[in-house]
Structure 1
Amino acid sequence: MPTPKSIQDEALPGWLPWLAVRGGPRFLQIADALQAAVADGSLKPGDRLPPQRQMAAWLAVDLTTVTRAYDEARRRRLLEGRGARGTYVAAPKVELSAVLDLSMNTPPPPQGVDFDDLLKQGLSQVLMRADGGMLMTYHLAGGSDSDRQAGARWLEPMLGPLEASQLVVCPGAQAAIAALMLALTAPGDVILTEPMGYPGLRAAATQFGRRIQVVEADEHGMLPDRLEQACRQHQHQHQHQHQHQHQHQHQHQHQHPPGLLYLNPTLQNPTAITMPQHRRQALASVAQRCQLRIIEDDPYWRLADAAPPPVATYAPEQVYYISTLSKCLTPGLRVAYVLMRDLQERERFLLALRSFALMAAPLSAALATQWIFDGSADALMQGVRQEARQRHWMARDVLAGRYSGAGDGLHVWLQLPAYWSPSQLARAADNEGIAVTPADAFAMGTGSANAIRISLGGIQDRGRLQAGLQRLSHLLARPPEAFSAAVV
């Protein structure tokens, strides 16, 4: 198919889209490009659009495709018809000038899924089948039996059949991480992690007086030999400390040095690396040899394309596996499932959790359970997954050679040109009305990376996302000096 730039026509609009082969329906690509052009100012209110036949010729598509695209743009209130005078850009909606948020990892709205209807139907079914009073009272056992059974069903693609009694329902993954930290470690204990990672881990460690220690990683994730080296070094220090404590008759004695290992092996936040199977097996073997316990935080597994089995399958006695619904369904549910095989540790975990988050909200947990059992959760997740892939294709097209994403998941880890630093780029993007997250936010130690994380799901509308990515691409192409004149 000829591209727009191959057509010799002096009236060819600069905003005319490139139609990606895998970019979704062509009429939606055209509508998205129209919305992006309005958002970035390429098209202004009152501008006249080309006649539909001329647009079809430029894009080498049939007239019906362009008609559907214009109809979709009218539905979005981007265009208005003026009879024989043609089609014009309408006055922009207020949200077109709002900040384009590429900083928050949230699931994108899936095409063809009426979320309001899904919510109404789910809640209606919950209220038909459950006692309203029970949904509004305290639940102290880490979720009802049905909630834990739903969790077992949700985790089955990752971990195979599970006993529901081994699961705990939590109010989100952050609460689960914090409770595990409190239950399984003591103040001053070390938590091992990769150089770049989830900021919530660092925040909890700081609040609870635990120490983060970085273990080197490569393009496949944490290096097993460096992990074993860290374990051996820490065990040696522990033995010396234990002897010192025994001499002074201190009551507290550590039993599992170092405290914990934190891994996010699938579509890692922020690097988007999916750890291959051989690396997962090697890390599991090290953990078994060193009696090291692992928090496996795995929010993106079901969004990934053929992710390897979790680390928990290779070291089931060492791993506490966390799967949240926030990244593949919706953050509003605030439901995460934690696999804990040891009953005593489960009780310690619940005790720690109750110290700051008594329970997952019963209504939210019941809605998650309803959606899992009636198939709505899978349908919603598949819609999120497909929409995320469409957005990755868009990012690959717009960012061209700078794109280094995995093609799935919710984010891209973008390496910056040498003339930009992450903080500089984040400030310049903010001046352009774009929010991104610099690498420093994810640094677990003293080092960092010359990169930013771009989240593709936070902007509801695909056209506005394209506009944000295009603005970002323009920023990346020029050194900071080119923008100094715009600073006031």
Structure 2
Amino acid sequence: MWHPRLLAGARLKYLGIVDALEADIRSGRVARGDRLPPQRAIAEALDVDLTTVTRAFNEARRRGLVDAQAGRGTFVSEALSAPGEAPAPRPLIDLSMNIPPQPDEAQFARRIPEAMASLLAGPRGLLTLHYQDSTGTPADRAAGARWLSGRLPDVTAERLVVAGGAQCALFAVCDALLKPGDVLLAGEATYPGLKAVAAQRGLRLVPLAMDEEGIRPEAVEAACTAGTPRALYVIPTLDNPTTATLPAARRQALADLARRHDLAVIEDDPYAPLCPAHIPALAELAPERSWHIATLSKCATPALRTAYVVAPDAHAAERLAGVLRATSLMAPPLMTAVASRWILDGTLDLLTRAIRAENTARQALARAALKGHAFAADPHGHHVWLRLPPHWRALDFAEHADRAGVSIVAGSAFAIGTPGQEAVRLSLGVAPDRGALEDGLTLLAGLLARPAAPVRVVV
């Protein structure tokens, strides 16, 4: 059994524990398959808090050093390289994928299989394994309308279509509204999924100037005066990547401009459930021309693959369903049934509150780690838009971060044309716990303070 120790010179105590364990494994003092002492025993032996040891165990699992076996304890991983072999590379701390965190209160590993089993055991359970209409079943459309009624008071099930995720919905809306060569307006930094759709459909994206409140109305006016755009794409709440939320007055201004210039509005609003304050959606302000996309992927989990599109009217919803019928056919029936159940029994609201609370805690870690640096963030969101100091280019910074063990996304991935500023997006949700997130943020803060160095390429 391993004799606990702290590796001298470690920056933090929990890292000293896990570094010592890794050194003892690599040297052969601890063998693959060996059982580790209980966490409380390690804490007593090293005279440290139990939480310090827990963080060390979490980091050891992240590095692939140990495996936890329910009811038996924690063991050195059998998959590790033998002493003398080159160690496997450490996994990255992933701050690149913008997904919600999975706090313990959410209990997805228990809730999802329980909900599926309960549905399948019901009198109509096998129907969730059948092909279904491309608009969604009446029950699922009604559940989606109920969920959205808080932000779209006039929504009806007849105007709503269920899709297999927001990206699928976005493609279908663009296909239904636009033809190759049409101009689509969007923020100068925008969701990469829109760029992919535009490239696939042959659409021309025109960038709009933005400020701390999002897309500037005068930029929309100028673009409409200079050309004949067909539609405006907007993420009104917790914009990806800039984190900006359009205030009510600006939403009204954009709705008025859309009417004046006969623009369709594609309102991609995945983050609205995370914000406790209600701000009218553009689909409420200009319902006759708005296509509102809402998804569970940011307020619950992308595993459900469920999104709802509110079309201007029932005829437009049927037209959208025709595109979905030709592309994805239908949303996944069983997972959509899980989503409907969670909407109706209150589980979805519980999950959203837990994720919002975890986001708030993680944003506090980001504020502390990045103090003194320029960044935009919202306390309820998953991500941070970090503006880099003058000596760093975003692509170089992302490359150096990757080499140091942290994966982030450079601003060029979001830019329409030339990036307006050197910035990177940090996604806080995918880190398995706050300890791993804090490590990644601390490493990035240290990198920000260093002078930029060229990335060396060996050929």
TM class by smaller structure = 0.7 to 0.9
Calculate the aligned-residue CA RMSD, in Å: 3.1
Structure 2: unaligned runs, 5 residues or longer? 1-7, 26-40, 67-73, 81-87
Letter of the 1:218 counterpart: D
Determine the structure 1 residue equivalent to 2:164: 171
Contact 1:187/1:208 (<8 A) preserved: yes
Contact 2:411/2:419 (<8 A) preserved: no
- 1 or 2 for the larger relative contact order (CA 8 Å, sep ≥6)? 1
Q: How many residues align?
A: 419
Instruction: Trace 1:3-42 onto structure 2 (pairs within 5 A).
Output: 15-16=11-12, 34=14
User: What is the deviation of 1:227?
Assistant: 0.9
Determine the structure 2 residue equivalent to 1:302: 273
Determine the structure 1 residue equivalent to 2:102: 109
Instruction: Trace 1:189-228 onto structure 2 (pairs within 5 A).
Output: 189-228=182-221
Letter of the 1:450 counterpart: E
Q: Which of 227, 240, 247 is the aligned partner of 1:234?
A: 227
Separation (CA, whole Å) in 2 of partners of 1:75 and 1:297: 36
Instruction: Trace 1:115-126 onto structure 2 (pairs within 5 A).
Output: 115-126=108-119
Determine the structure 2 residue equivalent to 1:393: 364
Determine the structure 2 residue equivalent to 1:430: 402
Contact 1:228/1:286 (<8 A) preserved: yes
1:446 aligned counterpart, secondary structure: coil
1:207 aligned counterpart, secondary structure: helix
Separation (CA, whole Å) in 2 of partners of 1:423 and 1:75: 30
Q: Which of 449, 461, 472 is the aligned partner of 2:433?
A: 461
Pair 1:275-2:268 in alignment: no
Separation (CA, whole Å) in 1 of partners of 2:97 and 2:159: 31
Contact 1:45/1:90 (<8 A) preserved: no
Q: Which of 131, 138, 143 is the aligned partner of 2:131?
A: 138
96 and 127 in structure 1: CA distance in 2 versus 1, 3 angstrom threshold? farther
Contact 2:134/2:325 (<8 A) preserved: no
Contact 1:152/1:161 (<8 A) preserved: no
User: What is the deviation of 1:350?
Assistant: 1.4
Letter of the 2:150 counterpart: P
Determine the structure 1 residue equivalent to 2:35: none
68 and 98 in structure 1: CA distance in 2 versus 1, 3 angstrom threshold? closer
Deviates more, 1:126-135 or 1:281-290: 126-135
Determine the structure 2 residue equivalent to 1:471: 443
User: What is the deviation of 1:348?
Assistant: 1.8
TM-score normalised by structure 1 residue count = 0.78
Separation (CA, whole Å) in 1 of partners of 2:307 and 2:96: 22
User: What is the deviation of 1:134?
Assistant: 2.1
Pair 1:324-2:295 in alignment: yes
Q: Which of 148, 153, 163 is the aligned partner of 1:160?
A: 153
Q: Which of 416, 423, 427 is the aligned partner of 1:444?
A: 416
Separation (CA, whole Å) in 1 of partners of 2:134 and 2:419: 41
Deviates more, 1:400-409 or 1:188-197: 400-409
Pair 1:340-2:311 in alignment: yes
Determine the structure 2 residue equivalent to 1:314: 285
Encode CA deviations 1:127-159: one digit per residue, 9 max, x unaligned.
133534422222124111111111112212222
Letter of the 1:264 counterpart: I
Identity %: 39
Q: Which of 134, 137, 149 is the aligned partner of 2:142?
A: 149
Structure 1: unaligned runs, 5 residues or longer? 1-11, 17-32, 56-65, 81-88, 236-257
1:467 aligned counterpart, secondary structure: helix
Separation (CA, whole Å) in 2 of partners of 1:180 and 1:71: 47
Deviates more, 1:272-281 or 1:301-310: 301-310
Contact 1:394/1:466 (<8 A) preserved: yes
143 and 348 in structure 1: CA distance in 2 versus 1, 3 angstrom threshold? same
Determine the structure 1 residue equivalent to 2:329: 358
Separation (CA, whole Å) in 2 of partners of 1:143 and 1:348: 14
51 and 200 in structure 1: CA distance in 2 versus 1, 3 angstrom threshold? same
Separation (CA, whole Å) in 1 of partners of 2:160 and 2:404: 45
Q: Which of 346, 352, 360 is the aligned partner of 1:381?
A: 352
